[in-house]
Amino acid sequence: MSNAATDSFVVRSRYPDVDIPDMSVTDYVFRTAPDDADRVAIIDGVDGSVWTRTALLDHAQRIAGGLHDRGITTGSTVALMASNGPEFAAVFHAVLLTGATLTPINPTYGVDETAYQLADARADFIIASPVANAAAAAAAAHRPVAVIGEASFDELIGEPLGQQPRD
């Protein structure tokens, strides 16, 4: 298409362009964590627990360390099948810290939809909430599954990734 044709589809804001920093989402989110470590990052709407920025980052780094110990690095894909909550945020950032790709899966999906997404994304590892575990486990095939709040997830938590050599 010519520029004139393309420009007719462009919608411009009346506000100035936003500067997008050249850093990862995780680095951006936690860039001021040392300065406001006790600031609330997440309040769990289900149980009311409060996660500070420091607690969230520490948990993400420990999950990242455990994923790294299991071979999850750049080029890997981790499926996360969980509802919104503190653990979702921690796993999201953990996967990004390893350099892997995250494929979020709707926790209400059945086995067929889950299997399709796992195959399509070429997922290497699955982290699921207890509610989604049945579908995740049935669709997993050869992939390992860790279930949030259960021993398989607790075993995943390792030394913080920042204290390990990165690939």
> Look-up: residue for tokens 């796992």?
118
The torsion defined by the Cα of 140, 24, 161 and 106, in degrees rounded to 10, comes to: -20
pLDDT at 31: 87
pLDDT at 4: 60
d(CA 9, CA 20): 22
Of 127, 129, 123, the closest CA to residue 146 belongs to 127
pLDDT digits (tens, 9 = 90+) for 117-147: 999 999 999 999 999 999 999 999 999 999 9
86-98 and 53-69 helices, crossing angle to 10°: 50
Secondary structure percentages of the chain, helix, strand, coil, to 5: 40, 15, 45
Contact between 76 and 118 under an 8 Å Cβ cutoff? The reply is no
Instruction: Show the tokens assigned to 73.
Output: 């690095």
pLDDT at 3: 62
Residue ranges per structural domain of the chain: 21-163
Of 146, 151, 158, 164, the closest CA to residue 62 belongs to 158
Segments in the chain below pLDDT 70? 1-7, 163-167
What's the CATH number for 21-163? Answer: 3.40.50.980
Contact between 42 and 30 under an 8 Å Cβ cutoff? The reply is no
The H-assigned helical ranges of the chain are: 3-7, 25-29, 53-69, 86-98, 111-121, 133-139, 151-154
pTM metric for this prediction: 0.84
Instruction: Show the tokens assigned to 61.
Output: 């780094």
Neighbours of 130 (CB within 10 A): 13
